[in-house]
Homo-oligomer: A and B are copies of this chain.
Amino acid sequence: MARILYDLYGRDEQLRFSPYCWRVRMALAHKGLDVELKPWRFQQKDAIAFANTDKVPVLCDGDQVVADSFSIMGYLDDAYPDTPSVLGSGASYQRALLFSHYVDRQVSPALLRIVALDLLTAIHPDDRDYFRATREARFGCTLEEFHSPEQGQTSLHKALAPVRAVLRTSPFLDGETPGGADYLLFGSIMWANVVSRQAPVIEEAVIDDWFRRLCGFYDGMGNHALTVRDLVEKQGV
């Protein structure tokens, strides 16, 4: 049976920006595992109900169904023990978990302030009302009020301090070659990078260099990703 990953798309079916799906795509590539990406939109809850979730990524691997990006990364380590590990086990796994919470709670919220309105226009038109309603309820303000690139950059700079410090002494967060910690952060930066109308989102050379290096991995998967800027160029909107 095929390996299938449900992957969020936006205003163009090739516009793929979910940070969590990007994590999993990098993890699969790290292990040399092929996958078929199944395009999915925010409100297509029925299509993934079989996985007992309403969010992507959802991985179907033969008869195994796994939801949640961190769970999928752990599943891949367990199911394919002969491939290079992504999260590792024991303390290594725990430290990756700690870092994933850090990315979700400190890095992604800062990025969201930078690209909130860009993200809205990157989303499929049929999903925009849904996105606005759910996010405005969560933030307690309008997307327009939440959108604050300058404040976001200040928070981002502070949040990335530990990352900056590590990248001064090694080319990747996980060392000489990229690993799970790199993919956890890469997903969030890729998300902002795909939807941003004004790249680059990352203003610091040491982190931007790391991001560009990762974009070149796995046949340049990140470099080949369609961005909102490509669409603007092609379609003029």
Which A residues are within 8 Å of any B CB, using their own CB? 85, 88, 90-99, 101-102, 105-106, 158, 161-163, 165-166, 169-170, 173-175, 179-181
Partner of A92, one of B95, B158, B170, B173: B95
- Complex contact A95–B181 (CB within 8 A): yes
With A91-B88, A95-B95, A175-B91 given, is the CB distance from A105 to B166 under 8 Å?
no
Residues of B within 8 A of A95 (CB): 92, 95-96, 98-99, 173-174, 181
CB-based contact B94/A173 at 8 Å: yes
On chain B, the residues within 8 Å of A98 by CB distance are: 95, 99, 162-163, 166, 173, 181
By a CB distance below 8 angstroms, the chain B residues around A169 are 97
CB of A161 within 8 A of CB of B106, answer: yes
Task: Name 17 extra pairs, CB < 8 A, besides A85-B91, A91-B174, A92-B95.
Answer: A91-B92, A91-B96, A91-B175, A92-B92, A93-B175, A94-B166, A94-B179, A94-B181, A95-B95, A97-B166, A98-B181, A99-B99, A101-B161, A102-B102, A102-B162, A105-B161, A106-B161
Which B residues lie within 8 Å of A97 (CB)?
Answer: 166, 169
A99 contact set on B, CB distance < 8 A: 95, 98-99, 162
Chain B residues, CB < 8 A from A162: 98-99, 101-102, 105-106
Smallest Cβ-Cβ distance to A172: which chain B residue: B94
Bound: A165/B102 CA distance, A? 9
CB closest chain-B residue, reference A159: B106
Interface hub of A90, A93, A95, A173 (most chain B Cβ within 10 A): A95
Q: Please tell me if the beta carbons of B174 and A101 are within 8 angstroms of each other in the complex.
A: no
Contacts of A174 in B (CB 8 A): 90-91, 94-95
CB proximity of A166 to chain B, nearest CB, Å: 5
A143 CA to B169 CA in the complex, in Å?
Answer: 33
| Assembly CA distance A93 to B95 (angstroms) | 9
Expressed in whole angstroms, the Cα–Cα distance for A166 and B95 within the complex equals 9
In the complex formed, the residue of B with least CB distance to A86 is B91
Q: Report how far A180 CA is from B90 CA in the complex, Å.
A: 12
- Whole-angstrom distance from the CB of A210 to the nearest CB of chain B? 13
11 residue pairs A–B, Cβ–Cβ below 8 Å: A88-B91, A91-B179, A94-B173, A94-B181, A95-B98, A98-B181, A99-B99, A101-B165, A105-B161, A105-B162, A106-B161
